[in-house]
Structure 1
Amino acid sequence: MRSWAAEVAPDTPSAPGGPSAAGPLTGLVVVDLSRMLAGPFCTMVLADLGATVIKVEPPFGDLTRPMGPFVEGDGLKAFGGYFQSVNRNKRGMVVDLTRPGGADVVRRLVTTADVLVENYRPGVMERHGLGYESLAELNPRLVYTAVRGFGDPRTGRSPYQDWPSYDIVAQAMGGLLGITGPVGGPPVKTGPGLGDILPAIYAAVGTLAAVREREITGRGRFVDVSMYDAVLAACERIVYQHSYGGTVPGPEGNGHPILSPFDVFPARDGWIAVAAPSDNHWIALCEIIGRPELGEDPRFRTNFDRSRHSGEVRRFLGEWTAGRTRGEITEVLGGRVPVGAVNTAETILADPHVRARGMLHEVEQPGVDHPVTIAAGPIRFAGSPRPPAHRAPLLGEHTADILREAGCTAEDIEHLLRTGAVR
């Protein structure tokens, strides 16, 4: 079934060559040696903002290329939804760092680049002669950003620094799994890969901070983000809960340890979130549901009181929502009390907010004759149209073009192709 996104000002599907509309990072050149999710999500944020991102892949490609999901009828299978979603707006080339001349290609790119992003374990880039110190000698203005499971020894040596890591490991060690799931139950991983996405966003912020500093100092900097650290920083509440009150927070269900009501409640046709921790919202909620006396009840008068009696609050509010549809609930609470239906992908695509905010991109999918839909970035700038999105690159699609732009002659390119240093 076609989504409405195909009917409302779709993005122009085209081969990626950098966004055609200027963004605030236009002119910033990023060499992206990262793979999987954390690094590519970071560079996707930069690309969405107008940076020219050169995705450098090994001959077998980023490990997410074959992971799917694939569109029915796609016989090419150049890449699936995972790769497409986080590698949009990038140019692509293949460099084999294990072949003679491969690392030299990266060094050539770095001489005129602004940023390099990688997410290998400590020491991998150094073994190829591509560590920060070596590249900074070639280009002192280079901002070198590393996203690692447990950080880089340059900024703090971790006992786990040589360990590999994935999203679920970072969520577990950073505290997120420990507070997610039903009360009293086992830990539960969050749906999206926040163990990758959180460090990716912090890395993008750190990168731009270093680029800004370079405008003043003229020199780049090594930027380091640990996946573990990023998840811990996002779970800041558990630290002060323990420090201030001596508690060890556990799985909280859909409620909140210090805010009430702040939960997900049953409706006749699904689930709905309601949050009224402020006293004004609480009084309004009590009036709307026909229980104004609860607004004056000393057990519920303040948020602190309600938190101590959150089970009772949850019970009578749940009884009220259970007899109504989500539409009926949002009709009476919307605009007065914070409320929102628990959406699925299908209902998100039908939500007028998503249409109004342009939160979906339609991009070309090689191998099929119709575009596909992916989520857009959330950053908007007043007075500027949203730049169109370009599909993710085919493996090695722009290798020759990028090498020519880097000053390589036709003979140089032919030699690199013949020796297998590039593809």
Structure 2
Amino acid sequence: MVKHFTPSDLAAFVFKELKRAKIREEKPAEAILNELFNTLYYTSLQTEEGQFIRVTVTLLDHKTIDLSEEGMERFDNWKFFPFEPAIEFSIKNLVKLSKAADPWSSSLSVYYDEHNKLFIYGMVDQTVHYQSFLNYEREEKPLYPGIIQTMINGIGILNVMLDYHPLATLNQHSLVKLYPNVFEYGPVSTFIQQKAEYSNAFLEKKFEHRLNANETEIFNDIIFEYVIQSISRILLKIKNYDHGGAILITEDFETDLSTKYRLTYDRIESAIMNILTSVTHSDLLAEEIKALNRQKGLMPVILHEECEDNELDIEDSYNELIGAIRFVSSLSCVDGLVLMSPHLEVKGFGTVITEKEQPPQVWVNRSSKPTQASIKIDPSHFGTRHQSMFAYCYKHADSLGFVVSQDGEIRAIKCVDGKVMMWENIKVYQFLRSNKMPRLTSRKFSR
């Protein structure tokens, strides 16, 4: 019999994790976490003006904020702004305040009093930088307040974070504790890395520079990182649309496919190349400047201007990638999947898979690598969007599919050695293991 998990199960697990954590703040009792998660869970089932509730709550002891902490002096760092007086922590108040607390820009600061009663004590601003980091739109890791952050990300969906580390997700009736890192380990990673690789001759022509084997490998490693980041960001954008969607990566754009809107869009690929070209040029300019410094020579005006132009080129190329990712993500709003090459060139959207034959079973993996612990499931247990992807990947082993459910769950699908494999709750955010959590050999994070 399948166990249905509740907010109380989430509270018990998070309490256990926090007991292991090395945090200077007072650790909340399980009863407090139980009240916190139950209230948030039932809030997620409500609507306000016909819209689903999305809000982030930070468990923050506002009385112990240390303004001398390193990084707090930065202009873009978070600040706590109190309500006067504090507001009761209730479903009604959370629903109302959620309209003023966009999770991308702010969070509600919640803590308990001497009687262990929860209150909303204020708001925290500048959380846009935290969200931008998680979504690969910021490289520098910003400070983030509080003990834990809990995000309502859908109906019955609570994500609990410690710094940049996901403690657990309550996804309606399931409790997710592991997030398979399919982009770094296993057959999904191998497929993308091999298919996204460029030849030495292509890269030499692109960068107008002779490259040895090691340099070519380094360039391809960097390209691979940008490709998996781009896929992750597209999937996250699709998730935020709340309607579901799918991406198919293949080299055959005709067989068993019917594409309503044929479109060739290569700006993700070109943006990645523009970033590499600009950064490579920047490195070469830096070498010239170092040589001048060694000779104690003055920097020529033309070299100074070239450095300034190059900085603008780098910024432009990053912005180009952001815009291209948003463009591709929006194509998923049309019924059907987005059809892409391994180099992330769009070949069409509104694509329907015409292959109908289903695999005898689907193997669901909790690890990024196929293991004997995989669970065998009948494909008919899933909806038509998943079944279509199962059928295509079963017949076309040299392909890779991603399906985003309406509830926001993201799955990767790949045929491995004749078996259709599926990975649930894959790691798409830029999660980092918190140094507050001890490492356990028996439980490897995000694998």
Q: Same fold (TM over 0.5)?
A: no
What TM-score do you get using the length of structure 2 for normalisation? 0.26
**Which has more strand, going by share of residues?**
2
What TM-score do you get using the length of structure 1 for normalisation? 0.27
Higher relative contact order (CA 8 A, sep 6+): 1
